[in-house]
């Protein structure tokens, strides 16, 4: 009877395609919007993502997210270093600075000042210059900076290694371009040394944004966080905790989740409305045939299985097409604006959520049809 | 005649009501009837006299309100819904007025439906359905969709579907009403030739007098009960109209 169910479903091409299209559109909308949402939200903690060496980030207790740096007094670094279980602790400066380009135009950039000695906190990838790899040490050259490649090209007038620009009236020389995770504000990111960054950025009395900490081997990270907080009065978070705090700050304090949530809900409703109603209509159109099968001795469970096969197949094909459409959308976006493509982050969790949503739509559509068929009087065939 | 043959169906004092309260109407009124193995019994009478209702209660797709029905010695109305479905699946073949072929299935697939419902493997079911369609004179139309067939051909597919699982009782509801006289005569001849066996009863509900001569007995209904049962040769046997 599975065979009969499939032939019944696919025989009416228009309705079949309508059901599939509704499910595919729903699947596409939900996945695409969720992927953009996830991609956008993951950008809020891009700096934390890119700095992988430390286990722990130490900050002022009032800090709410990575962009909300509240400078601490310099001695805080030594207090953290003194905590038992700390292998090393280095300073990190994070601020904003105005860049004046050779053309005379200006642009606000994020500047990261890395520990002078260790250069911990550098970009995940430094692009080769003239085919030669560039090491982190290049930052030790006079006035040296790294600039993130895509932004150097798009926003900073095509800066390239060797170019000179002004950062708050200070001469800065680009020694290499970098590949980094794009940030939420999409500002160009400049890496330089801690001392240079704190010198260039118009200062407050305190300039230590974060202390990056590596735990000694075998040390329990959470226990060390607790110890640092207890000993110094500062807030110590694991990388994951700091990401989470940043993410939730943006979720709670911006309208982004509501906007994306509304579109995702819309996608779900479209799925229910189009596919659910079309499938119900499909069942009603075939109600006489279901009645005939019932009269001929088909059991209720047989008919329910037929309906589940019909909705299940529609759901699976619609879901697959929706995923395909999402991938094509992402690739298409990449062909037009490569950096926009990065906004979409298709995670397996997103696919699972969409799959669950499609299952709910399919179950609801099946339920309406099943109720109709279960209550169906087979005597309808003689009318 | 009834006394000498094995009974297939026995209805005794069957009542059937539709609706409730003021809208309650009685469709069957103390209806009694017997159908024997090896005969074609026609139920005739004016529209609304209860022919189709009687057919429906005989095969257990409608419940009775009073009376007793035995089909092959089994009390169908004492069965639960699943048992009734099983009973119909095994023992009853249906042919309907509008054929009720699934439009998206081919002729052979439509004819194989009772076997598929019974859980027979698809390949075997198609083989048997193909054989039945060949017996019904349609060997070259197996893969045609219903819309590609004439009315007479569609009815032959419907008869094939009714007979493919070799049921002991075949019920036909107005099998020729949608066909012209010549085609109706041809499909009835085919039905008689293929369906009628010593171990099988055929009940045909009709008000088409053109096919009366195919009946072994004719039961006339009026106002929800049988008023007379006649055989060819009886003085009051309906003569019908022959083409």
A328-355, pLDDT tens digit by residue?
A: 988 887 777 766 656 778 888 888 988 8
Inform me whether the C-beta atom of residue A298 falls under 8 Å from chain B C-beta atoms. yes
Q: How large is the ipTM?
A: 0.85
**B62 contacts on A by Cβ (under 8 Å):** 377, 379
Cβ(A121)–Cβ(A47) below 8 Å: no
Minimal CA separation from B240 to chain A, in Å = 24
Which of A282, A294, A297 is the best residue to mutate to test the B interface, defined by the most B CB atoms within 10 Å of its own CB?
A: A297
Size of interface A-B (CB pairs under 8 A): 80
- Predicted confidence at residue B233, as pLDDT, reads 64
Residues 6+ apart with CB under 8 A from A63: A69, A70, A235
* Cβ-based neighbour number of residue A129 at 10 Å: 16
Tokens of B165: 């699982």
- Predicted confidence at residue A320, as pLDDT, reads 93
Cα–Cα distance, A163 to A174 (Å, whole number):
6
B201-205/B169-173 β-pairing = parallel
What are the residue ranges in chain B where pLDDT is below 50?
1
User: Which of the two residues, B67 and A185, has the higher pLDDT score?
Assistant: B67
- Predicted confidence at residue B241, as pLDDT, reads 55
Inform me whether the C-beta atom of residue B114 falls under 8 Å from chain A C-beta atoms. yes
- Predicted confidence at residue A115, as pLDDT, reads 93
Cα A327 → chain centroid: 15
Cβ(B93)–Cβ(B117) below 8 Å: no
pLDDT in tens, A53-90: 999 999 999 999 888 878 999 899 999 999 999 999 99
Contact B116 A10 (CB under 8 A): no
Contact A4 B52 (CB under 8 A): no
For the residues A144-163, what does the mean pLDDT come to?
A: 87
**A282 contacts on B by Cβ (under 8 Å):** none
Inform me whether the C-beta atom of residue B111 falls under 8 Å from chain A C-beta atoms. no
Which of B61, B90, B97 has the CB atom closest to A378's CB atom? B61
Quick one: closest CA in B to A301, which residue? B82
Which of B85, B104, B116 has the CB atom closest to A299's CB atom? B85
- A245 exposed, middle or buried (CB, 10 Å; 0-12, 13-18, 19+)? buried
Cβ(A368)–Cβ(A304) below 8 Å: no
Cα–Cα distance, A190 to A166 (Å, whole number):
12
For the residues A311-334, what does the mean pLDDT come to?
A: 88
Inform me whether the C-beta atom of residue B103 falls under 8 Å from chain A C-beta atoms. yes
- Predicted confidence at residue A341, as pLDDT, reads 57
C-alpha torsion A349→A351→A353→A357, nearest 10: -170
Helices (DSSP H) in B2-121: which residue ranges?
Answer: 51-58, 81-91, 107-111, 113-117
Minimal CA separation from B95 to chain A, in Å = 10
Cα–Cα distance, A66 to A94 (Å, whole number):
9
Segments of B19-161 assigned E as strands: 25-36, 40-44, 66-71, 74-75, 92-95
pTM here is 0.73
Cα–Cα distance, B42 to B229 (Å, whole number):
9
pLDDT in tens, A275-311: 778 777 887 888 888 888 888 888 888 888 988 898 8
- Predicted confidence at residue A340, as pLDDT, reads 61
- Predicted confidence at residue A218, as pLDDT, reads 92
Residue B17 pairs in a beta bridge with B26
Inform me whether the C-beta atom of residue B59 falls under 8 Å from chain A C-beta atoms. yes
Which of B56, B85, B103 has the CB atom closest to A382's CB atom? B56
Contact B59 A1 (CB under 8 A): no
- Predicted confidence at residue B1, as pLDDT, reads 45
- Predicted confidence at residue B239, as pLDDT, reads 66
Contact A297 B118 (CB under 8 A): yes
Quick one: closest CA in A to B172, which residue? A382
Contact B88 A382 (CB under 8 A): no
For the residues A38-46, what does the mean pLDDT come to?
A: 86
Inform me whether the C-beta atom of residue A13 falls under 8 Å from chain B C-beta atoms. no
Tokens of A154: 């798009």
Cα–Cα distance, B29 to B16 (Å, whole number):
7
Which of B96, B97, B117 has the CB atom closest to A293's CB atom? B117
**B117 contacts on A by Cβ (under 8 Å):** 1, 293, 296-298, 302
Tokens of A117: 């000695």
**B82 contacts on A by Cβ (under 8 Å):** 299-300
Cα–Cα distance, B11 to B76 (Å, whole number):
11
Quick one: closest CA in B to A8, which residue? B104
Q: Is pLDDT above 70 for A130?
A: yes
The answer for B 118-147 residues in CB contact with A (under 8 A) is 118, 122
Cα–Cα distance, A285 to A290 (Å, whole number):
10
Cα–Cα distance, B102 to A4 (Å, whole number):
9
Among candidates A220, A170, A222, A225, which has minimal Cα distance to A192? A170
DSSP A380: G
Which of B43, B116, B125, B172 is the best residue to mutate to test the A interface, defined by the most A CB atoms within 10 Å of its own CB?
A: B116
Minimal CA separation from B4 to chain A, in Å = 30
Inform me whether the C-beta atom of residue B117 falls under 8 Å from chain A C-beta atoms. yes
**A294 contacts on B by Cβ (under 8 Å):** 61, 85
Residues 6+ apart with CB under 8 A from A54: A90, A120, A121, A212, A213, A214, A239
Minimal CA separation from A3 to chain B, in Å = 8
The CA-atom distances, in angstroms, between B76 and each of B45, B50, B67, B81 are 25, 19, 12, 10
pLDDT band of A316, cuts 50, 70, 90 = very high
Contact B117 A377 (CB under 8 A): no
Which of B52, B90, B109 has the CB atom closest to A382's CB atom? B52
Work out the mean pLDDT of chain A and round it to a whole number.
87
Select the highest-mean-pLDDT range: A239-248, A371-380, B23-32. A239-248
Cα–Cα distance, A37 to B92 (Å, whole number):
60
């Amino acid at each position: 009877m599975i065979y009969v169910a499939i032939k019944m479903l696919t025989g009416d091409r228009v309705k079949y395609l309508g059901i599939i299209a509704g499910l595919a559109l729903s699947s596409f909308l939900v996945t695409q919007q969720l992927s953009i949402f996830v991609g956008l939200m993951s950008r809020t903690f891009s700096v934390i993502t890119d700095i992988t060496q430390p286990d722990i980030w130490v900050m002022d207790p009032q800090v709410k997210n990575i962009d909300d740096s509240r400078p601490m007094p310099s001695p805080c670094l030594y207090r953290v270093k003194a905590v038992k279980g700390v292998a090393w602790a280095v300073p990190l400066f994070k601020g904003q600075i105005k860049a004046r380009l050779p053309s005379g135009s200006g642009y606000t950039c994020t500047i990261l000042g890395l520990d002078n000695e260790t250069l911990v906190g550098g970009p995940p990838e430094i692009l080769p210059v003239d085919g030669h790899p560039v090491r982190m040490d290049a930052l030790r050259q006079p006035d040296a900076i790294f600039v993130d490649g895509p932004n150097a090209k798009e926003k900073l007038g095509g800066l390239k290694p060797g170019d000179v620009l002004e950062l708050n009236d200070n001469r800065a020389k680009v020694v290499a371009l970098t590949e980094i995770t794009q940030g939420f504000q999409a500002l160009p990111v400049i890496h330089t040394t801690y001392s240079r960054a704190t010198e260039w950025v118009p200062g407050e009395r305190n300039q230590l944004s974060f202390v990056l900490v590596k735990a000694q081997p075998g040390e329990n990270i959470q226990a060390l966080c607790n110890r640092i907080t207890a000993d110094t009065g500062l807030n110590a978070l694991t990388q994951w905790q700091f990401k989470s705090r940043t993410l939730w700050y943006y979720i709670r304090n911006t309208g982004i989740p509501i906007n994306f949530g509304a579109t995702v809900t819309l996608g779900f409703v479209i799925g229910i409305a189009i596919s659910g109603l079309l499938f119900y209509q499909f069942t009603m159109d075939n109600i006489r045939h279901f009645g005939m099968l019932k009269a001929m001795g088909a059991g209720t469970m047989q008919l329910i299985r037929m309906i589940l096969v019909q909705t299940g197949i529609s759901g699976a094909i619609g879901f697959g097409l929706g995923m395909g459409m999402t991938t094509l959308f992402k690739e298409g976006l990449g062909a037009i604006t490569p950096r926009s493509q990065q906004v979409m982050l298709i995670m397996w969790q997103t696919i699972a959520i969409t799959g669950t949503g499609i299952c709910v739509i399919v179950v609801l559509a099946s339920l309406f049809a099943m109720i109709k068929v279960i209550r169906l009087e087979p005597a309808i065939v003689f009318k | 005649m009834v006394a000498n043959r094995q009974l297939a169906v026995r209805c005794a004092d069957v009542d059937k009501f539709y609706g409730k309260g003021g809208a309650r109407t009685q469709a069957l009124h103390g209806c009694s009837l017997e159908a024997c193995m090896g005969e074609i019994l026609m139920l005739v009478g004016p529209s609304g006299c209860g022919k189709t209702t009687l057919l429906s209660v005989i095969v257990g797709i409608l419940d009775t309100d009073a009376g007793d029905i035995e089909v092959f010695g089994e009390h169908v109305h004492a069965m639960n819904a699943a048992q009734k479905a099983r009973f119909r699946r095994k023992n009853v073949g249906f042919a309907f007025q509008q054929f009720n072929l699934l439009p998206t299935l081919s002729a052979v697939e439509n004819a194989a439906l009772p076997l598929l419902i019974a859980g027979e493997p698809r390949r075997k079911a198609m083989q048997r359905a193909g054989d039945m369609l060949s017996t019904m004179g349609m060997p070259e139309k197996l893969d045609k969709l219903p819309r590609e067939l004439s009315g007479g051909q569609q009815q032959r597919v419907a008869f094939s579907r009714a007979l493919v699982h070799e049921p002991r009782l075949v019920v036909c509801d107005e099998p020729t009403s949608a066909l012209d006289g010549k085609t109706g005569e041809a499909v009835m001849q085919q039905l008689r030739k293929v369906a009628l066996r010593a171990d099988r009863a055929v009940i045909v509900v009709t008000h088409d007098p053109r096919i009366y001569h195919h009946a072994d007995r004719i039961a006339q209904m009026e106002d929800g009960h049988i008023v007379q049962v006649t055989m060819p040769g009886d003085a009051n046997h309906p003569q019908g109209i022959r083409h």
